[in-house]
Structure 1
Amino acid sequence: MTDRRVDLLFDARHIRQSGIGTYIATLLPSLEETFVKRGLSLAVLANEGAVPEVQHATVVTAAPAVMYTVGEQRVWAHALSTARPRGFWVPHYPFPFAALRHRGMKLFTTVHDTMHVRPAEISGQSTARRAYARTMFRLDGRFADLVFTPSEATATTLRALSPRARTMVTPIPVDEEWFAPVDPALSPVSGPYVLYVGNAKWHKNLPLLLTAFGDVAGEVPHRLVIAGSGEALRGGDERVPALAAALGDRVQVMGRLDFAVLRALVAGADLLVMPSLHEGAGLPPIEAMASHTAVLASDIPALRETCGDGADYFDPTDRAGLAALLRALCRDEDARAKLAARGWAHVTARQAGLSLAPAAEAVAEMVRLGS
Structure 2
Amino acid sequence: MGTQKVYINARFLTQSVTGVQRYAIELVKSIDCLIDRGELGTGELTFILLTPPSQIQQINLKHIQIRKVGFLEGHLWEQFELPFYARNGLLINLCNTAPILKINQIITIHDVSVYAVPQTYSLAFRAWYKLLFRIAGTTSKRIITDSQFSKQEIVRYCKIKPSKIQSIYLGKEHIHDQDLDLNYIAKIKGQKSFILAVSSMSPNKNFRSIIRAIELMDEPDFDIVIAGGTNPKVFGSSDPLDLSDYRYLGYVNDSELRALYESADCFIYPSYYEGFGLPPLEAMASGCPVIVSDAASLPEVCGDAALYCDPHSPKNIAEKIRQLMNDPDLRDKLRTKGLKRAKQFTWEKCASETMTVIREVLKCELPSSTTG
Shorter-normalised TM range? 0.7 to 0.9
User: Compared with structure 1, are the counterparts of its residues 353 and 30 closer, same or farther at alpha carbon in structure 2 (3 Å cutoff)?
Assistant: closer
SS of the aligned residue for 1:133 comes to: helix
Shift of 1:181: 8.8
What does 1:155-304 correspond to in 2, within 5 Å? Answer: 155-165=151-161, 166-175=164-173, 177-178=175-176, 182=180, 184-187=182-185, 188-190=187-189, 191-216=192-217, 218=219, 220-229=220-229, 231=230, 236=235, 241-245=240-244, 248=245, 251-304=246-299
Counterpart for residue 130 of structure 2? 134
Gaps of 5+ in 2: 366-372
Paired residue secondary structure (2:287): coil
Cα 1:328/1:352, change in 2 over 3 Å: same
Alignment match, 1:46: 51
**What residue is the counterpart of 1:11 in the other structure?**
9
Unaligned 5+ segments in structure 1 are 101-105
CA shift in 2, pair 1:75/1:224, >3 Å: farther
Say if 2:57 is the partner of 1:57: no
Measured at CA, do residues 359 and 95 of structure 1 come closer, stay the same or move farther in structure 2, by a change above 3 Å?
A: same
SS at match of 1:53: coil
For 1:184 and 1:20, locate their aligned partners in 2 and report how far apart those are by CA, in whole Å: 28
Moved more, 254-263 or 313-322: 254-263
Q: Deviations over 1:165-184 (max 9, x none)?
A: 41111101111553999465
- Which amino acid in the other structure matches residue 260 of structure 2? L
* Aligned partner letter, 1:91: L
Output the aligned Cα RMSD.
2.8
Structure 1 residues 20 and 194 mapped into 2: Cα distance closer, same or farther (>3 Å)?
A: same
Whole-Å separation in 2 of the counterparts to 1:334 and 1:64: 56
C-alpha deviation, 1:239, in angstroms: 5.4
Q: Is contact 2:151-2:167 (8 Å) kept?
A: yes
1:337 deviates by 1.8
Normalising by structure 1, we get a TM-score of: 0.84
Rate the CA distance shift 1:209–1:240 in 2: closer, same or farther, 3 A: farther
C-alpha contact (below 8 Å) 1:233/1:240 kept by paired residues: no
Greater helix content: 1
Give the fraction of aligned pairs with identical amino acids, expressed as a percent.
Answer: 22
Separation in 2 of the partners of 1:319 and 1:37?
Answer: 56
TM-score by length of 2: 0.84
CA distance in 2, matches of 1:194, 1:41: 46
Aligned to 2:143: 147
Amino acid paired to 1:86: G
8 Å CA contact 1:294–1:343 kept in 2: the answer is yes
Corresponding residue number in structure 2 for 1:103: none
- The whole-number CA distance in structure 1 between the counterparts of 2:133 and 2:327 is 45
- Residue of structure 1 in register with 2:21 after alignment: 21
